[in-house]
A and B are shown apart, each in its own frame.
Chain A
Amino acid sequence: MAKDAQIDGSDEALLALYADGDAQAARLLAARLVPRILGFATRLLGDRVEAEDIAQEVMLRLWRVAPNWRSDEARVSTWVYRVTSNLCLDRLRSVKRKRAHPLDEVAEPEDGAASALSTMIEADRQAALQMALADLPDRQREAVILRHIEGLANPQIAEVMQIGVEAVESLTARGKRALTAALSGQRRELGYEEV
């Protein structure tokens, strides 16, 4: 019973169970974390294939660090976002990103009830957002994604990015201003004028 309670519990509890040899804990933890890592990495890199590589690498590092995990040091989610961020920024620094790819690689909306037209409009909007994000400086893009897409609180973003909370607020504010400027010229094309 105690084990069931732990399985329904925190990421840290699941990681401890995994380290104790519980295979089910690994599945539950992966189901929780991988979608977030993949979404975050995809938006940071603008490349789904590379994001999948990053997601696998991040989880591999998590499995390896599990036996030595100290729950009083950091939250698993914070650690995962930080490692994802570092790996993505390393790739961005080593490879000059091509701006043509993101448009093709934005995931299709999953709402089957939406009409074909609204689906296309939504896809266009998300593609435009991805392109505007890609044009932001790396740290601004990371802060905006963590705050407004991943929904992290500023203190947790500060831990992930290893900067102060005020710096996070500054980065997200500048990032949003830049996104607004980038998208404002496309309002008509993205269907906002008709709404």
Chain B
Amino acid sequence: MDDLDKLLKDAAGITAVPDPLMARILADATREQPRPMRAPAQMPRSSIWSVISDLFGGHGVLAGLASVACAGIYLGAVQPSGVNEMTALMTGVLAVEALDYMPNIDALLAEE
């Protein structure tokens, strides 16, 4: 039946899409559309100082350690007499009775 081929061909016309249907489909598309990916925020580069600081627990702790180290170097270099006596007392070289707690008090009293 040649007419059948013609009938089928005629049926192949473009189907009109109702506007409300297209609007619903485009609304779905907008709702489902993936959002553009943003570039991840760049991590700040960590310097050697920040690594060391983090290793010791932060800048505050590191500053404290530096201060103590400087004080140790100073005391080791100057060696004040009071510190020497304290060291001798602690190591048992000097007896407690021999320790002069106020080494300059005699001169002060004499002036009066």
Given that A30-B26, A151-B12 are known contacts, is A35 also in contact with B32, CB under 8 Å in the complex?
no
B104 within 8 A of A: no
Given that A107-B16, A148-B5, A151-B12 are known contacts, is A59 also in contact with B34, CB under 8 Å in the complex?
no
**Number of B interface residues in the complex (CB < 8 A):** 29
Q: How many A-B residue pairs have CB under 8 A?
A: 97
- Asked if B25 and A192 make an inter-chain contact with CB atoms under 8 angstroms apart, the answer reads no
Instruction: Fill in one digit per residue for A1-42: 1 if any B CB lies within 8 Å of its CB, else 0.
Output: 000000000000000001111010011001000111011001
Q: How far is the CB of B100 from chain A (nearest CB, A)?
A: 85
Stretch of A76-84, A93-101, A175-183 with 4 or more beta carbons under 8 angstroms from chain B: A175-183
B14 within 8 A of A: yes
Interface residues of chain B: helix, strand, loop or mixed (majority): helix
The docked-state distance in angstroms from the alpha carbon of A27 to that of B22 is 9
Residues in A whose Cβ lies below 8 Å from that of B33: 18-19, 21, 23, 26, 63
Q: Please name the residue on chain B nearest to A51 by beta carbon.
A: B15
Q: Of the candidates A56, A148, A150, which one forms a contact with B25 in the assembled complex, judged by CB atoms under 8 Å apart?
A: A56
- Asked if B15 and A107 make an inter-chain contact with CB atoms under 8 angstroms apart, the answer reads yes
Residues in B whose Cβ lies below 8 Å from that of A107: 15-16
The docked-state distance in angstroms from the alpha carbon of A187 to that of B29 is 46
Q: Of the candidates B3, B10, B25, B36, which one forms a contact with A30 in the assembled complex, judged by CB atoms under 8 Å apart?
A: B25
- Asked if B12 and A150 make an inter-chain contact with CB atoms under 8 angstroms apart, the answer reads yes
**Number of A interface residues in the complex (CB < 8 A):** 43
- Asked if B25 and A59 make an inter-chain contact with CB atoms under 8 angstroms apart, the answer reads yes
Given that A180-B1, A187-B3 are known contacts, is A34 also in contact with B11, CB under 8 Å in the complex?
no
Residues in A whose Cβ lies below 8 Å from that of B22: 30, 34
- Asked if A56 and B28 make an inter-chain contact with CB atoms under 8 angstroms apart, the answer reads yes
The docked-state distance in angstroms from the alpha carbon of A34 to that of B14 is 10
The docked-state distance in angstroms from the alpha carbon of A39 to that of B14 is 8
B64 within 8 A of A: no
- Asked if B36 and A21 make an inter-chain contact with CB atoms under 8 angstroms apart, the answer reads yes
Instruction: Fill in one digit per residue for B3-29: 1 if any A CB lies within 8 Å of its CB, else 0.
Output: 111011111111111100110111011
**A-B residue pairs in contact (CB < 8 Å), sample of 25:** A20-B36, A26-B26, A30-B22, A30-B29, A34-B25, A35-B14, A36-B15, A38-B15, A38-B21, A52-B18, A55-B21, A56-B25, A59-B28, A67-B34, A122-B10, A126-B7, A126-B10, A126-B11, A148-B5, A151-B12, A176-B4, A180-B1, A183-B1, A187-B3, A192-B3
Residues of chain B whose beta carbon lies under 8 Å from any beta carbon of chain A = 1, 3-5, 7-18, 21-22, 24-26, 28-30, 32-36
